[in-house]
């Protein structure tokens, strides 16, 4: 009797262990597939056919009315359309084609003018592995890389095309009322803070009246610290 009870218990334990192993396998498989899909979404080259030229923005317009510009940071993988939603949450998990995507899109702060005419413009993007989306911003924390990668281009649907000259890189909390305040008449307070706190700052490049763009990405999913690259916008 006791022997039968022990055998039954052993079989129950065996079944339980098999079920646990199967669940573990399914969870790992799902996580792997999810990671691959996120990477594929961030690495989708289909969007490049919408890249405009300085002379012709028509390809970018085909992405829809939320496509406001195209951003290229020379010498990096940052070569994407910039979207703008009604809120700053809209394109967190939506690609430029309007489909759900954990990689999201590069997007302009919803409070900014879509033609980048504001004195201060903030652009957001997810921090993805292998330099995708705004993952390349990590490189700008290195002084040697920064010194050799100081330029970019912004082509807007509204017709204003800009050369970008990067002059600072630093971190800030997402709640920072200076770094993430787009409603300013000049950038004096921002520049004072950057000069004091940024780990790279080119003092000779920017002044209070400079037309500035900030590229912001998460440092990690566990905190609200952001890594931001700052550049001067000059019309081409």
Q: Find the range with the poorest average confidence among 22-26, 61-65, 197-201, 211-215.
A: 22-26
Taking a C-beta distance cutoff of 8 angstroms, is the pair 60, 158 a contact? no
The sign of the CA dihedral 186, 189, 191, 192 is: positive
Distance CA 207, CA 213 (A): 13
The per-residue pLDDT for range 176-195, each reduced to its tens digit, is 999 999 999 999 999 999 99
- Do strands 79-83 and 106-108 pair parallel, antiparallel, or not at all (unpaired)? parallel
pLDDT category of residue 19 using cuts at 50, 70 and 90: low
- For residue 128, the SS3 value is coil
Helix (H, G, I), strand (E, B) or coil at 50: helix
Neighbour-count burial of 208, counting CB atoms closer than 10 A to its CB (0-12 exposed, 13-18 middle, 19+ buried): middle
pLDDT per position as a tens digit, 24-77: 433 333 233 333 344 444 456 799 999 999 999 999 999 999 999 999 999 999
Percent of the chain with pLDDT over 90: 73
Question: Which strand (E) or helix (H) includes residue 227?
Answer: strand 225-235
Residue 8: which pLDDT band, with cuts at 50, 70 and 90? low
- Give mean pLDDT, residues 109-134: 96
What is the CB neighbour count within 10 angstroms for residue 105?
A: 29
Write out the H or E segment, with its range, that includes residue 143.
helix 143-148
Spatial neighbors of 187 by CB under 8 A, at least 6 apart, are 119, 120, 206, 208, 209, 210, 212
Which CATH number fits the domain 47-235, given the four candidates 3.30.200.20, 2.40.260.10, 2.10.70.10, 3.40.640.10? 2.40.260.10
The answer to whether 216 and 123 are in contact (CB under 8 A) is: yes
Neighbour count for residue 73 (Cβ, 10 Å): 25
Q: How confident is the model at residue 219 (pLDDT cuts 50, 70, 90)?
A: confident
Backbone φ and ψ of 42, nearest 5°? -70, -25
Buried b (16+ CB within 10 A) or exposed e, 41-60: bbeeeebeebebeeeebebb
């Amino acid at each position: 009797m006791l022997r039968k009870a022990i055998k039954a218990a052993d079989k129950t334990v065996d079944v339980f262990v098999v079920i646990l192993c199967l669940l573990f396998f399914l969870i790992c498989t799902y996580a792997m597939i999810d990671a691959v899909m996120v990477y594929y979404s961030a690495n989708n080259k289909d969007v490049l056919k919408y890249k405009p030229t300085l002379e012709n923005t028509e390809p970018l317009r085909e992405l829809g009315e939320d496509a406001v510009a195209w951003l290229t940071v020379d010498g990096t993988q940052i070569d994407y359309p910039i979207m703008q939603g009604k809120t700053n949450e809209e394109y967190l998990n939506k690609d430029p084609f309007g489909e759900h995507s954990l990689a999201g899109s590069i997007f302009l702060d919803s409070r900014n003018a879509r033609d980048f005419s504001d004195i201060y413009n903030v652009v957001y993007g997810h921090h993805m592995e292998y330099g995708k989306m705004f993952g390349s911003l990590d490189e700008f924390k290195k002084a040697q890389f920064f010194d050799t990668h100081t330029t970019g281009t912004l082509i807007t649907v509204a017709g204003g095309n800009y050369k970008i000259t990067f002059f600072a890189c630093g971190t800030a909390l997402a709640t920072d009322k200076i770094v993430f305040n787009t409603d300013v008449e000049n950038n004096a307070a921002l520049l004072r803070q950057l000069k004091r706190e940024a780990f790279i700052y080119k003092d000779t490049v920017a002044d209070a009246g400079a037309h500035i763009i900030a590229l912001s990405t998460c440092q990690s999913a566990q905190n609200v610290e952001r890594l931001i690259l700052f550049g001067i916008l000059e019309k081409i």
